[in-house]
Structure 1
């Protein structure tokens, strides 16, 4: 039997995140606070956010930051991977929803994710290839989470059956590249794009 999407996402998460030694409770708290602070700083200031400001926001010393993340790249990668895994796990939130609603709501989260994390990926690619293992395994995790949602919608007959998940991702990713678009404008364009995937829209 093929692996379930949940198993694939878990496997990809393990590949994306380097094995870490078990942490003491206080070290784990500092690690989590640094990740949260980094997410907030990168969201508000972009990938060029100051490491010193991230440490200050996390209420730890810069030395603590460097113990957990020896390089800026290591911190960028950790934040990127955590966000990918959060996106993948969010697919589980829609398990009980109608197939079309599950797919549309998850793709809405995907647009939010791409819009806010593009700068992180771009800075990471200044020192690594787009084919680097972290990108490949996180790509696989996203597909493992999203493809079953599309398959379920196809099986229900609410999505055209000639569309592939890669095409859907390319479609919605393009929305995030519209310059100066507000979140509300992106949501509006997403709703129009998703109508192109559906069966029976005109009759609805």
Structure 2
């Protein structure tokens, strides 16, 4: 017989620790990138490393929790772009996804790897991001807004390259790369 007891809410101190860890991860990853030692996150949150691992068993779980709201906002933006002209929608998506992936140095690489890593806690969000891009590329191709040989994987690679540049503090070069690539895709 199945239990009808509702799941227990985490204790107040556990919720506070999780919130402190997420706030600390935000700061540490912004300052040092996603490869920063997790010990730095725990220290900044003023908890033991074991507390960090009890809430987030690995770096990807911490990143997934940290990015959850940002991911949902990005996906909502992607869904809203369906009402815009196909070429403009694709360009808006590219720029939004690049900005998202450049939030922390090294995040673009984590997102790129997450698409193929089905065991990753980030896999579902990475696949969803790629699917939105594929849809917008197909729509732009069908509308004749971009060259018929442009593929979603091309756009995904472009976004990762631009996000890497932006994440490494080279906003001007990232913007130039995007402008050149977008001009080359357009018909």
Instruction: Find the partner of 1:61 among 24, 32, 47.
Output: 47
Instruction: Find the partner of 1:119 among 85, 103, 106.
Output: 106
- Equivalent position of 1:167 in the other structure: 154
Q: Distance between the aligned counterparts of 2:16 and 2:83, measured in 1?
A: 33
- Equivalent position of 1:188 in the other structure: 176
Unpaired segments of 5 or more residues in structure 2? 1-6
Shift of 1:194: 0.5
Question: Contact 1:102 / 1:149 at 8 angstroms: preserved in 2?
Answer: yes
1:88-127 to structure 2, matched below 5 A, reads 88-117=75-104, 119=106
- Equivalent position of 1:151 in the other structure: 138
Ranked by relative contact order (alpha carbons within 8 Å, sequence separation 6 or more), the top structure is: 1
Normalised by the size of structure 2, how large is the TM-score?
0.67
Q: Give the secondary structure class of the aligned counterpart of 1:158.
A: coil
1:67-86 to structure 2, matched below 5 A, reads 67-72=54-59, 74-76=61-63, 78-79=65-66, 86=73
Cα distance change on mapping 1:131 and 1:182 into 2, 3 Å: same
Moved more, 142-151 or 64-73: 64-73
Q: Give the secondary structure class of the aligned counterpart of 2:83.
A: coil
CA displacement 1:58-93 (0-9 Å, x = unmatched): 5x6336534312445642454467665554343124
CA displacement 1:14-56 (0-9 Å, x = unmatched): xxxxxxx664484556534533431332121123435455346
CA displacement 1:103-131 (0-9 Å, x = unmatched): 1111112223344456257689xxx9x64
- Equivalent position of 1:6 in the other structure: none
Cα distance change on mapping 1:22 and 1:103 into 2, 3 Å: farther
Question: Contact 1:76 / 1:120 at 8 angstroms: preserved in 2?
Answer: no
Shift of 1:164: 1.3
Q: Give the secondary structure class of the aligned counterpart of 2:27.
A: helix
- Equivalent position of 2:119 in the other structure: 133
RMSD: 3.7
Q: Distance between the aligned counterparts of 1:95 and 1:189, measured in 2?
A: 25
Cα distance change on mapping 1:23 and 1:120 into 2, 3 Å: farther
Question: Contact 2:24 / 2:44 at 8 angstroms: preserved in 1?
Answer: yes
